[in-house]
């Protein structure tokens, strides 16, 4: 499963890029607003750091025409830019057009199998299903992910299922079990994936025993 990092923070992206762990980056207007820097500048800097798909979102969700114009703008910034399109009737028109033009899309704000199916039929490259926001409503967000993975395989769609709105390591475990293609993960969650107390305890004991016995490499 590929890992994308879900952030517009350049320090976080630099850190995970150095760890060799990141296959792509997803941003959204909220994440960009938190950083307080320009949209185009931030996306271009991210593209210079990560060799993989970088999602940049359009905002005029009620007008296919305006979204298409915004899509062409962001796609012109770097070949690795993937245009993030909010799901909806207008968005689907834009996805179809961009697919014809060979421009990759990340269809966002999806919560159900039926939405994912429509996005796949339109040719969406990445199908972003939000799990955390569904869990927030005391409902299983992963259900749509499991169903979408089955749907993509059953009907041989080229689209990849991207698990978004991940909030903790269990979301990643469940994404792996579901056979999702990609999980986009916040920096803090990515750090947690390395951690296990038994790893720390085991390492401490190995180090102690090595030192007490006076072992070395000579």
Which positions touch ligand G3P (CB under 6 A)? 6, 26, 28, 130, 132-133, 164-165, 167, 184
- By beta-carbon proximity to ligand G3P, the closer residue of 86 and 97 is 86
| Residue 92 vs residues 111, 118, 159: alpha-carbon distances, Å | 15, 8, 14
107 close to 121: Cβ distance less than 8 angstroms = no
- By beta-carbon proximity to ligand G3P, the closer residue of 86 and 123 is 86
18: part of which helix (H) or strand (E)? helix 10-18
Q: How far is the CB of 155 from ligand G3P (least distance, A)?
A: 25
183: part of which helix (H) or strand (E)? strand 182-185
Strands, E assignment, 14-131: 24-26, 54-57, 81-86, 105-110, 126-130
Q: Which residues contact residue 198 at a Cβ distance below 8 angstroms, ignoring those fewer than 6 apart?
A: none
Q: How far is the CB of 28 from ligand G3P (least distance, A)?
A: 5
- By beta-carbon proximity to ligand G3P, the closer residue of 54 and 97 is 54
Question: Which is catalytic among the residues 40, 44, 84, 195?
Answer: 84
3-state helix, strand, coil in the chain (%, to 5): 50, 15, 30
Q: How far is the CB of 84 from ligand G3P (least distance, A)?
A: 9
The reply to whether 84 belongs to the active site is: yes
- By beta-carbon proximity to ligand G3P, the closer residue of 97 and 106 is 106
190 close to 3: Cβ distance less than 8 angstroms = yes
Q: How far is the CB of 206 from ligand G3P (least distance, A)?
A: 38
Q: Which residues are catalytic?
A: 84
């Amino acid at each position: 499963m590929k890992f994308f990092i879900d952030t517009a923070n350049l320090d976080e992206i630099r850190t995970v890029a150095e760890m060799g762990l990141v296959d792509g980056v997803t941003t959204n207007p909220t994440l960009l607003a938190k950083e307080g820097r320009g949209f185009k500048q931030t996306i271009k800097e991210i593209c210079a750091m990560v060799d993989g798909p970088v999602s940049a979102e359009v905002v005029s969700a009620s007008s296919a025409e305006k979204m298409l114009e915004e899509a062409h703008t962001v796609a012109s910034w770097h070949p690795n830019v993937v245009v993030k399109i909010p799901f909806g009737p207008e968005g689907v028109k834009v996805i179809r057009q961009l697919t014809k033009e060979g421009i990759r899309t990340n269809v966002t704000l999806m919560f159900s199998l039926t939405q994912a199916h429509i996005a796949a039929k339109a040719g969406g490259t990445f199908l972003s299903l939000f799990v955390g926001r569904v869990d927030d409503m005391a409902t299983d967000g992963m259900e749509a992910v499991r169903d979408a993975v089955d749907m993509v395989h059953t009907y041989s769609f080229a689209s990849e299922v991207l698990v978004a709105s991940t909030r903790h390591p269990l979301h990643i475990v469940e994404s792996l079990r579901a056979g999702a293609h990609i999980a986009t993960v916040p920096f803090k969650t990515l750090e947690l994936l390395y951690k296990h107390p038994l790893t720390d305890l085991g390492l401490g004991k190995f180090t102690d025993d090595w030192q007490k016995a006076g072992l070395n490499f000579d």
